[in-house]
Amino acid sequence: MAKSISVFGLGAMGLVLAEVFLKKGYKTTVWNRSPEKAKDLVANGAHLATTVAEGLEASDLIVVCLLNHEAVNTTIKQALPSLKGRTVVNLTNGTSDHAREMSALVIAQGGRYIHGGIMGVPPMVAAGVAFLIYSGPLEVYQSVEQDIALLGTPRHLDAEVGTASLYDLALLSGMYGLFTGFIHAVSLVRSQPGKDKKDINVSEFVNTLLVPWLSHMNEYTKILADQIDADDYSSKSARIVMQIPAIDNIVQQSKANGISPEPIAAIQKLFILANDRGFGNDDLSQLVNHNDAKEN
Ligand SMILES: NC(=O)c1ccc[n+]([C@@H]2O[C@H](COP(=O)([O-])OP(=O)(O)OC[C@H]3O[C@@H](n4cnc5c(N)ncnc54)[C@H](OP(=O)(O)O)[C@@H]3O)[C@@H](O)[C@H]2O)c1
């Protein structure tokens, strides 16, 4: 295990990452564009690096958690030679190409690189209940596994460094889909003509109806996944042709009540496309075969 660590980025997430290492007794060096955010960490024993080079050279293991790829790129490029011999674990959200680009940059300087995705919010990381996904060379991952395991349950997905970003974005897409449905469902309930919005108890709707319903549907996605793995989409109970008019009714009701139908219109297009291509008798798992960017 590394005894010292440098954490780049002290936003909401980076602050918690640095705190975790500091509490575990690591000699912790931090760097942040706005150095004042390090005040409490420094009071608790962290060292504040005033330059990127100083931050990189302070430790063999470097954890990076900045806003986006551009921020990482401009930061790291301030001190490229200082990457030599360092292992960089980049936990910044980005695309697979961002991870590949950063990996190539670090390796070209004689460093080693792992990319990760944090599946949790800062309080979850602080409580040790988040999980993190990683990709990059297995031997590099294994050399830092015990250290990064302190941030949450780690899972190495693949040696190809872009994999973790792809899976991170896929998981976030699932989450934003849930939030999209949540916002649209609550908006519909609050749009009832003749009812004052403040008389509609959203918590009651969510707790007693939406969450139980979505919990069942959450389980149903496992059945859909099995259908996709088996390449068998036949449905005995929920055919695409049955769902198309139901979705159209959601669109009509939304419009009638002054709610944007756009969230549901996006998936409606896929249902119609799959049906037009002759797959109307299948279950909605069939839609994965029609989600091609060219047609949508
Ligand atoms: N917060 C979450 O719930 C969460 C969960 C999972 C993953 N993540 C990911 O973790 C990363 C950090 O998130 P966060 O919540 O800590 O974000 P944040 O609170 O907005 O902090 C952003 C960090 O990036 C730095 N930064 C922004 N632009 C920069 C630039 N051009 N050059 C150098 N530094 C720059 C900021 O520095 P300053 O302090 O100087 O502004 C700050 O340290 C993101 O990629 C995010 O997607 C976050």
**84 domain residue, yes or no:** yes
**237 domain residue, yes or no:** yes
pLDDT at 296: 54
Q: What is the CA radius of gyration of the chain?
A: 24
221 lies in the same domain as 275: yes
Q: For ligand 1, atom 30, which residue shows the shortest CA distance?
A: 71
**188 domain residue, yes or no:** no
Q: Which domain holds residue 281?
A: 202-290
**236 pLDDT tier (thresholds 50, 70, 90):** confident
**197 domain residue, yes or no:** no
**176 domain residue, yes or no:** no
Q: For ligand 1, atom 42, which residue shows the shortest CA distance?
A: 11
Any idea what the CATH number is for the domain that residue 121 is in? 3.40.50.720
Out of 119-123, 245-249, 271-275, 291-295, least confident range: 291-295
Q: For ligand 1, atom 4, which residue shows the shortest CA distance?
A: 121
Q: In 3-state terms, what secondary structure has residue 237? A: coil
99 lies in the same domain as 160: yes
- As for how many domains the chain has, the answer is 2
Any idea what the CATH number is for the domain that residue 280 is in? 1.10.1040.10
Residues with CB under 6 A from ligand 1: 9-14, 32-34, 37, 65-68, 71, 74-75, 92-93, 118, 121-122
206 lies in the same domain as 160: no
**125 domain residue, yes or no:** yes
pLDDT tens profile 88-124: 999 999 999 999 999 999 999 999 999 999 999 999 9
C-alpha distances in Å from residue 171, one per residue of 90, 175, 178, 201, 223: 18, 6, 11, 30, 18
- Ligand 1 centroid–CA 65 distance in Å is 6
- Ligand 1 centroid–CA 64 distance in Å is 10
pLDDT at 294: 66
**47 domain residue, yes or no:** yes
14 lies in the same domain as 154: yes
**58 domain residue, yes or no:** yes
What does the DSSP assignment read for 174-216? Answer: HHHHHHHHHHHHHHHHHT-TTS-GGGS-HHHHIIIIIHHHHHH
- Enter the DSSP assignment of 137: -
